[in-house]
Chain A
Amino acid sequence: MTQILMPALSPTMEEGNLAKWLIKPGDKIEPGQVIAEIETDKATMEVEAVDEGVISEILVPAGSQGVKVNTPIAVLDGEDAAAAPKQEAKPAPAQSAEAASPAPARAPQAAPQPDPELPAGTQLVKISLRDALRDAMAEEMRRDPNVFLMGEEVAQYQGAYKVSRGLLDEFGPMRVVDTPITEHGFAGLGVGAAMAGLKPIVEFMTWNFAMQAIDQIINSAAKTLYMSGGQIKSSVVFRGPNGAASRVAAQHSQDYSSWYSHVPGLIVIAPYDAADAKGLLKSAIRNPNPVIFLEHEMLYGNEFEIPDVEEWLVPIGKAKVKRAGSDVTVTAHSRMVGFALKAAEHLAEEGIDVEVVDLRTLRPLDTATIIESVKKTNRLVTVEEGWGQSGVGAEICARVASDAFDWLDAPPTRVHQVDAPLAYAANLEALALPGVDDIIEAVKAVMGR
């Protein structure tokens, strides 16, 4: 004998009306047979039998209002009955208070390592950011046959920005794959290939076009490891130029730093110089997690010095003090690092000693390096190319306010793009984007000058 219970018929239903019985005592019923109609707040639903047997008693008559979920409504005799779930079966109780110890706010990750020590006598060589990125991909593709590059114009055209120049010749069309113009599809295809164990580098011609693909990046790449209880990994690098180029107007000029750095499950990297770009891209390709790699078109042709060593890896999750200073901390990433360094030079002439922290990785954000710097300088200016609201600077200010409030001698200040889509007109574009002068002005303001 078993009891048939008042079922919940929606995620939120707590009670309902038993509108109609379609069976009576003595009736033999089978699994799948409709036995009753129940009115919820949304609709009238049919209830099907799960077990086979004979109805021996109706406990709640038709027309009853407000019957609570899990109330016994009928009794069934049958061979299945004894085996059916018992009424007292309830969801396991929530964990007790002491068991639910306060969880850390962020998922634990290995502590970032410092940059590798260079052997004495290491030469520095000049290389463009573009070629540094290409070398990073080529080296990792030589090292691991599962690594391949896909994207629009990456192969025969040699890259829309010539970042993949020469790769097709060396690695062939199976590993350097020209895709159709189909961002949503090829981002998903890349994630699927990663789920099956490959290590795709998915190039977006620019990150603006990746908005077509953001569902696959976030819902598939970033979340599946968690949703699969650790079974399915998405070791994929999404990379391409991010931010404003020059005079291409609002749809082609957007900084996605804060968008992606909002999402747990993603790693977000935004390097400035060639050494970091190469070392971090190599680390990103080896990393088992999905990585967002934000490059800057305006830096592709810039030449930087890079250590001439066999294997150059830069650790993910570690900011770098690009210029030590004692008066004010300026945080920046990507192209803004160059502006911050220029501003620091100007300010030095006026007797203000600026410390420039290159964030390099935005998620996980190296809070420790920022806090350490602020505790030394007691002042903070954050710089980013994107909009201010809910931005990278907003996050840094919140962490500094929380962790180093007593060390601050002035309110932290943010430098960012004006709160409007980016204009085409040259003068308006220049007014909208943060530049060296904006940083100088902000630093002076926090210095009280």
Chain B
Amino acid sequence: MADGANGANGSLATSASKDELLSYYRDMLLIRRFEERAGQLYGMGLIGGFCHLYIGQEAVVVGMQAALKDGDQVITAYRDHGHMLATGMSANGVMAELTGRRDGYSKGKGGSMHMFSVEKGFYGGHGIVGAQVSLGTGIGFANKYRNDGKVCLTYFGDGAANQGQVYESFNMAAVWKLPVVFVIENNQYAMGTSIQRSTSETHLHRRGISFNIPGEEVDGMDVVAVREAGKRAVEHARSGKGPMILEMKTYRYRGHSMSDPAKYRTKEEVDEQKAKHDPIEHVKKQLLDGGHVGEDELKQIDREIRDIVVASAEFAQQSPEPDPSELLTDVYL
């Protein structure tokens, strides 16, 4: 992708094996189909409140996850369903949390924006823009304190990049050389405000310069490019050199949340992204052009993914609401 708003300096992607590409295709497709189904359940009134879909940005979490080791941690804000699925959390548990049922990851008490799985290294799921950056830096502090070799991926968006505590965290992460990779998912709109209107330095990978944190711009629509950048950054952090910033140039196809008609950008802009830069189509093309697979094999994967997602929607509707006794549990230990 040499052109377009996503503008990374051409793809840095090195080759990936057939198995890797198939795995990324499957993982990205799971996120997309899951999100589409969540949107449908929202439309039916089965999911309430705020629901922020990840459609379009799938390559970021799938590529970054491929750069991690077991035990590494992930934390993000509220556009978080993709991160959860990428860490291996179950579609059933995530969807049941979206519907507010007892089999959800937070027993129905957290909802779309607040889910966690210590087992999978996923530390949320946080609803306050930017708060997860300090929290993720603290998880990195714990890794350094224990000297356990773990790295915490701390995700935030171009909107959160203007929150003060992000820079408080950059400073501490750099001065203490904490094993944290800051992944900025620059989807170019903070709710309805474009980065050009809100941000003086729009090249967000440069935001670490005054903290001596190296940054890199990455084509966030290319899963292999994401993985390669992710490997470099994670290795940098794990080796004791301190934090690194990856700016993922990406794009969300849907509005900020379900109730956002996204009139602040043109239909042509969105259509171009979908037509020319779609991360799933990109991998699909690599698989087909490389002669790795045929259409039939991909179709079979599509069916498997659809079955997982449909089952999760069914599970999320069958799971009962939390027992009223849960109202006052988990307030204190």
Interface residues of A (CB under 8 A from B): 5-11, 13, 31-32, 40, 42-48, 50, 69-70, 80, 83-85, 89-92, 94-95, 99-101, 103-104, 106-109, 148, 174, 179-180, 182, 184-198, 215-216, 219-220, 224-233, 264-265, 267, 288-289
Given known contacts A107-B328, A188-B135, A198-B145, is B128 in contact with A219 (CB within 8 Å)?
yes
Contact residue among A32, A109, A190 (Cβ-Cβ distance under 8 Å from B332):
A109
Interface size class of B (residues with CB under 8 A): 35 or more
Does B301 have its Cβ within 8 Å of any Cβ on chain A? no
Can you list 10 A-B pairs with a CB-CB distance of less than 8 A? Answer: A8-B44, A10-B258, A84-B310, A185-B171, A189-B172, A192-B139, A192-B141, A193-B141, A196-B143, A228-B125
Binds A, one of B12-20, B31-39, B238-246, B282-290: B31-39
Interface: B46 (CB within 8 A): yes
Q: A225 near B134 (CB under 8 angstroms)?
A: no
Q: For B306, what are the chain A residues with a Cβ–Cβ distance below 8 Å? A: 80, 83
Interface residues of B in 68-98 (CB under 8 A from A): 73, 75
A187 touches B50 (CB 8 A): no
Q: How far is the CA of A112 from the CA of B117 in the complex (A)?
A: 32
The closest CB in chain A to the CB of B111 belongs to A227
Nearest chain B CB to A17 CB, angstrom units: 14
Contacts of B60 in A (CB 8 A): none
Q: Which 3 pairs between the two chains have the least Cβ-Cβ distance?
A: A192-B138, A188-B134, A7-B43
| Contact indicator A11/B40 (Cβ below 8 Å) | no
Q: Is the CB of A182 within 8 A of B171?
A: yes
Q: Is the CB of B109 within 8 A of A227?
A: yes
Picked from B124, B128, B145, B172, the residue with its CB within 8 Å of the CB of A182 is B172
Interface of chain B residues 133 through 149 with chain A (CB within 8 A): 133-143, 145
CB pair B258 A9 closer than 8 Å: yes
Closest residue to B100 on the A side, CB-wise? Answer: A91
Asked if A101 and B324 sit within 8 Å, CB to CB, the answer is yes
Q: Which of B39, B46, B165, B258 is close to A184, meaning CB atoms less than 8 Å apart?
A: B165
Chain B hits for A186, CB < 8 A: 134, 168, 172
Interface of A is mostly: loop
B175 touches A180 (CB 8 A): yes
Bound CA span A148–B142, Å? 11
Contact B44 A89 (CB under 8 A): yes
Write the nearest CB–CB distance from A113 to chain B, whole angstroms.
16
- Chain B's closest residue to A180 (CB) is B171
- Please tell me if B99 contacts chain A, counting CB pairs below 8 Å: yes
Q: Does B105 contact A (CB under 8 A)?
A: yes
A108-B141 CB under 8 A given contacts A10-B258, A188-B131: no
Chain A: minimal CB distance from B59 (Å): 16
Q: Which of A84, A180, A184, A191 makes the CB contact (< 8 A) with B138?
A: A191
CB nearest to B307 among chain A residues: A83
Given contacts A192-B137, A193-B142, 14 further A-B contacts (CB under 8 A): A7-B40, A7-B43, A7-B44, A9-B259, A31-B32, A32-B253, A84-B40, A90-B45, A91-B99, A99-B324, A100-B324, A188-B138, A194-B138, A225-B333
Q: Is the CB of A5 within 8 A of B142?
A: no
Question: Are A184 and B134 in touch, CB under 8 angstroms?
Answer: yes
- B45: contacting residue among A70, A190, A198, A232, CB under 8 A: A70
Q: Are the C-beta atoms of A50 and B99 separated by less than 8 Å?
A: no
Query: Once the chains are docked, how many angstroms separate the CA of A148 from the CA of B145?
Result: 10
* Complex contact A185–B134 (CB within 8 A): yes
Scan residues 248-267 of chain B and give those whose CB is less than 8 A from a CB of chain A: 253, 255, 258-259, 261, 263
Contact of B307 with A220 in the complex, beta carbons under 8 Å: no
Interface residues of B in 158-217 (CB under 8 A from A): 164-165, 168-169, 171-172, 175
**A220-B145 in contact given A101-B324, A185-B137 (Cβ < 8 Å):** no
The answer to whether A228 and B134 touch (CB under 8 A), given A5-B43, A148-B145, is no
Our pick among B33, B41, B101 for the contact of A92 (Cβ within 8 Å) is B101
* Contact partners of B140 in chain A: CB under 8 A: 192
Contacts of A108 in B (CB 8 A): 328
A148, A185, A224 pick with most chain B CB within 10 angstroms: A185
- Which chain B residues border A264 with CB–CB below 8 Å? 331
Tell me the bound Cα distance from A179 to B128 in angstroms: 23
A232 and B123 contact, Cβ closer than 8 Å, known pairs A5-B44, A50-B40, A104-B328? yes
Instruction: Say yes or no: A215 contacts B109, CB within 8 Å.
Output: no
Known: A50-B40, A85-B317, A192-B135. A44 touches B261 (CB 8 A): yes
Shortest beta-carbon distance, B93 to chain A, in Å? 11
A6: B residues at CB distance < 8 A? 43
Partner of A289, one of B55, B115, B333: B333
Contact partner, B134, options A83, A84, A94, A187, Cβ 8 Å: A187
> Is B304 interfacial (CB-CB < 8 Å)?
no
Contact A103:B131 (CB < 8 A) given known A184-B164, A225-B333: no
Check A229–B107 contact: CB distance below 8 A. yes
Q: Please tell me if the beta carbons of B328 and A103 are within 8 angstroms of each other in the complex.
A: yes
Query: Residues of B contacting A43 with CB < 8 Å?
Result: 259, 261, 263
By a CB distance below 8 angstroms, the chain A residues around B73 are: 196
**A80: B residues at CB distance < 8 A:** 306, 310
Closest CB of chain B to A235's CB: distance in Å? Answer: 8
Tell yes or no: B320 within 8 A of A by CB. yes
List of B residues within 8 angstroms of A187 by Cβ? 134
B40 adjacent to A103 (CB under 8 Å): no
Q: Complex Cα distance A194/B123, Å?
A: 12
Residue of B nearest to A83 (CB): B310
Contact B310 A70 (CB under 8 A): no
Given known pairs A230-B329, A231-B117, the reply for A189 and B141 (CB within 8 Å) is: yes
Cα of A107 to Cα of B329 in the assembled complex, Å: 7
Question: Could you mark each residue 96-129 of chain B with 1 if its beta carbon is under 8 Å from any beta carbon of chain A, else 0?
Answer: 0001010011111110001111100001111110
The residue of chain A having its C-beta at the shortest distance from the C-beta of B118 within the complex is A231
CB distance from B116 to the nearest CB of A (A): 4
Whether B114 lies near A228 (C-beta < 8 A) is: yes
Please give the distance in Å from A421's CB to the nearest CB on chain B: 25
Contact: B139 with A220, CB < 8 Å?
A: no
Q: Which chain A residues lie closer than 8 Å to B139 at the CB level?
A: 192-193, 195-196
- The reply to whether A228 and B110 contact each other, CB–CB distance below 8 Å, is yes
B169→A188 contact, CB < 8 A: yes
- Once A83-B306, A85-B41, A192-B135 are accepted as A-B contacts, the answer to whether A226 and B128 lie under 8 Å apart by CB is no
> Smallest Cβ distance from B207 to chain A, in angstroms?
15
B321 at the interface (CB under 8 A from A): yes
